[in-house]
Amino acid sequence: MKFSKLPGYRMKDFQFQFDASSFNKLFPFYILIDADLNIKKYGESLSKLIPSLNENTKFIEVFSIKRPFVSLLAATDFIELVDQLITIEALHQNQIILRGQFQKHNGYFLFVGSPWFVSMEEVTNNKLKLNDFATHDPLIDLLHVLKAQELTSQDLKELIDKINEQQKALTKDKEEIKQLSLVASANKSGVILTDLDGKIFWSNEAYLELTGYSRCDVIDKTIVNLGVSELSDHAVLKSMITAFKFGENFDCEIYHKKKNNDWFWARTKGQPVLDTQGKVVQYFVIIDDITKEKEINDKLKESESRLTSLILNLQTGILLEDENRKILLVNKEFCSMFGINAEPNFMIGMDCTNSAEESKGYFHNSEQFVPRINEILSNKEIVLGEELRLIDGRVLERRYIPITSDGIYKGHLWSYTDITLNKKYNEGLRHEKEKYRSIIDNMNIGLVEVALDKTVLLVNNRFSEMIGYPVDFLIGKNASDLSLDSASKEKLETKLANRKLGLSDSYELSVTNKNGELKQWLISGAPNYNLNGEVIGSIGMHFDITETNNLEIQKEKLLKRLEKQNEQLNEYAHMVSHDLKSPLRSIHTLITFIREDNEVTFNNKTRKYFTLIQEKAEKMDRLIQGILTYSKIETVEGSKEKFNLNELVNHILSILFIPSNVKVIIDKKLPVIVADRFRIQQLFQNLLSNAISYNEKTNGIVAISFEEFNDYFVFSIQDNGIGIPEKNQKKIFQMFQSSNTNETASGIGLSIVKRIIDNLNEKIWLESEENVGTKFFFTIHK
């Protein structure tokens, strides 16, 4: 009967109703818990399993949540357990574990599940019967299967014993051997029968397919003759020969040669066959191909060895614990760091439950050390960069990383890094900053630091004296509003705009100080960079040259001094960019190692994150390399030489990555020129790379051509790519400017091109149309 046809029936009002007896039949191991964590009801079968169980007993006095671990103090702690697969353990009943889930029910928490048994013996030992379980409970079916497997194994053992008994009664009669061969023929493993000298007188088809030999090839040959190769381990071969000699079993792994001189890893098991008097009359040998298994195991061992070696030799103290705080791995640095006079291997399996209490005396804040450890372990959340001060003066940085598998907590990793030297260095650096700040404040040069929005960030005492206003008054003001006439203001605006483009220069400015005196200042300005090489403002050094304005000699000295300071500023930018490459490459290498070692265990999301990290690291490396290249263009003196431009361009094309959708065409044979070969290579390489990178069309074309004039050549590099909007054409040669959002673009390539062209006193220009393409022209004098 359909419910929808019942009088007054509405599907949305339908509810299941059970009395206690009916519910017990469905879930005989249920537990009902009220808001005060008291056990109000429980299944009849559960009472048989745990006889000491009583109603109105506190749940936490009888059971503990085994997985996932939760410290139950109040009903609110059950919220995170609802709709999860959990296991609970009876505290006073040995080895009784229940597996199931919690549900909220009318203000109560209802646990439904089953005991976690692994054999029918456990059911019997706990005085339970089949009718103590719900009819639908798959556990009994599973236990029956396990029992059946156990019986099958027993039957198999009895069968093997029976075969051995039969073998004792066998003679060398060919008919009986034929009957035995019929059994071996059905085996998927390679099977051979040999005499006492190891000579084969029978083999199954599986062995022939495995080795590539024919039956004629193997009869009257020994397994050693057939399988030995240059790779074979002679010690293993000797052990097999010895086993044949003394009628013993053997089980070994060895290289086995095939007929085509190829090989495979073979697991070879030999068993003597006895006659009725117990005398060995022949051998029964099974050969299995375990090559793939060996390769997988070897790779796992290699990966594990490499990772373990890396961890054991890290300069960071590492301690890996399981969910029960048993040590899984510890390295030498950890032992050394905490004065543990034991080899790391000897500590494997040790219980760390009381280690925090035992070691708290090492730390300044010893009373808070243990509670903090317990808090971290309870929260199971990542902790990074937590500083610990030891009474011996050291400072450690602690990290905690929980480890889960399929959402189940498996343990955690502690790491400790000695940052004492870093702390001392930073403290020294702070003192140095204060010292240099004092020097800056008292130097005879007016110093001003300005943000990109022209806000004054820093001035020293000398600048305050020069302009007549106190330091506090100047901070936060707009730099172009400080006592300047319209012409000087316009000039300063232009210079500040140049700083955004990465340009440095020196210039004179007319300024009226607070007292109304007109002063002539000589200003050396340079862009101010952050650690990423980005312009964040400008720095200006101000000299009052009012009294010496007409003295050209003094002026020349000052200009030379300023040029040197500009050079030092550029060298500083170069140094910062260069020093960033080393840790960046280390990061890239470590990410590659982690990905290779964990390619199988990482999920898609983790692999995606590691790919993004690698891409960002590679982009930053290209950005830094571009900055280094850009900074070297004017500082490295080149020499002119005569060379064939065809050879140079072909070399560039051989080292560039050219995707399959792009074709590079050299319109006609390029000339032989006299120029700085290195700079010309940089010039062509950046332009060609730019044309190839921004061409995503199915039939992308990049064409190289030139025209010859009396004193110079005009070269062109044309593509049919995305083109450059007209509004962006004026700024593409500026540092960190790109006309699109290509992730691989650094925004430096064309600025390098422009700087090379300027340094060579040549010209460059372009013609471009969106979605049609771009054509760059540049000159090279003969």
Name the residue among 383, 409, 399, 396 with its Cα closest to residue 325.
Answer: 409
pLDDT for the residue 217: 92
Place of tokens 């990482």: 602
pLDDT for the residue 610: 83
Percent of the chain having pLDDT more than 70?
Answer: 82
pLDDT for the residue 530: 87
CA angle 492, 498, 501 (to 5 degrees): 160
pLDDT for the residue 766: 94
**Which helix (H) or strand (E) covers residue 569, if one does?**
helix 552-597
Cα 747 to Cα 603, 718, 742: the distances in Å are 34, 19, 10
User: Average pLDDT, stretch 368-388?
Assistant: 93
User: Average pLDDT, stretch 454-462?
Assistant: 91
pLDDT for the residue 8: 46
Could you give the CA distance from residue 140 to residue 120 in angstroms, rounded to a whole number?
8
Name the residue among 732, 752, 748 with its Cα closest to residue 622.
Answer: 748
pLDDT for the residue 658: 92
pLDDT for the residue 3: 37
The pLDDT-based confidence of 411 (bands split at 50, 70, 90) is very high
Both tokens of 247, joined, read 């009628």
Percent of the chain having pLDDT more than 90?
Answer: 35
Residue 340 CA, distance from chain mean position: 31
User: Average pLDDT, stretch 286-296?
Assistant: 89
Phi, psi of 194 (to 5 degrees): -130, 160
CA angle 462, 467, 469 (to 5 degrees): 90
User: Average pLDDT, stretch 611-639?
Assistant: 68
Residue 340 scores a pLDDT above 60: yes
How many CB atoms lie under 10 A from the CB of residue 349?
Answer: 9
The pLDDT-based confidence of 14 (bands split at 50, 70, 90) is low
Phi, psi of 173 (to 5 degrees): -60, 130
User: Average pLDDT, stretch 526-546?
Assistant: 89
Could you give the CA distance from residue 429 to residue 434 in angstroms, rounded to a whole number?
8
- DSSP H helical ranges for 415-513: 420-442, 461-467, 471-474, 486-500
The pLDDT-based confidence of 9 (bands split at 50, 70, 90) is very low
Residue 450 scores a pLDDT above 70: yes
Could you give the CA distance from residue 756 to residue 690 in angstroms, rounded to a whole number?
16
Could you give the CA distance from residue 616 to residue 591 in angstroms, rounded to a whole number?
12
pLDDT for the residue 2: 40
Could you give the CA distance from residue 584 to residue 620 in angstroms, rounded to a whole number?
8
Could you give the CA distance from residue 417 to residue 614 in angstroms, rounded to a whole number?
25
pLDDT for the residue 313: 63
Long-range contacts of 129-138 (CB under 8 A, 24+ apart): 132/28, 132/44, 132/45, 132/48, 133/28, 133/45, 134/25, 134/26, 134/27, 134/28, 135/25, 136/26
Our CA dihedral for 135, 141, 143, 145, rounded to 10 degrees, sits at 160
**Which helix (H) or strand (E) covers residue 278, if one does?**
none
pLDDT for the residue 737: 58
Could you give the CA distance from residue 506 to residue 509 in angstroms, rounded to a whole number?
10
Task: Give yes or no for a contact between 490 and 499, defined as CB atoms under 8 angstroms apart.
Answer: no
Cα 580 to Cα 392, 610, 617, 623: the distances in Å are 33, 20, 11, 11
Residue 642 scores a pLDDT above 90: yes
User: Average pLDDT, stretch 518-536?
Assistant: 89
Could you give the CA distance from residue 620 to residue 585 in angstroms, rounded to a whole number?
10
Cα 584 to Cα 529, 591, 681, 742: the distances in Å are 19, 11, 27, 21
Both tokens of 610, joined, read 């590691």
The pLDDT-based confidence of 637 (bands split at 50, 70, 90) is low
User: Average pLDDT, stretch 740-768?
Assistant: 80
pTM: 0.30
Both tokens of 194, joined, read 């040999």
Q: Which residues pair with 270 in a beta bridge?
A: 250, 285
Checking phi first, is residue 247 left (phi over 0); if not, alpha (psi -120 to 50) or beta?
left
Both tokens of 583, joined, read 């840790």
Task: Give yes or no for a contact between 248 and 289, defined as CB atoms under 8 angstroms apart.
Answer: no
Could you give the CA distance from residue 737 to residue 757 in angstroms, rounded to a whole number?
18
pLDDT for the residue 7: 46
Residue 388 scores a pLDDT above 50: yes
Strands in 481-612 per DSSP E: 505-512, 518-529, 535-544
- pLDDT tens sequence across 183-219: 555 567 899 999 988 899 998 999 999 999 999 999 9
CA angle 585, 591, 596 (to 5 degrees): 125
- pLDDT tens sequence across 230-239: 888 888 988 8
Task: Give yes or no for a contact between 51 and 44, defined as CB atoms under 8 angstroms apart.
Answer: no
Lowest mean pLDDT among 69-78, 240-249, 315-324, 727-736: 69-78
Both tokens of 695, joined, read 């061409």
Rounded mean pLDDT of the chain? 83
The pLDDT-based confidence of 576 (bands split at 50, 70, 90) is low
Q: 773-781 and 700-708 as β-strands: parallel, antiparallel, unpaired?
A: unpaired
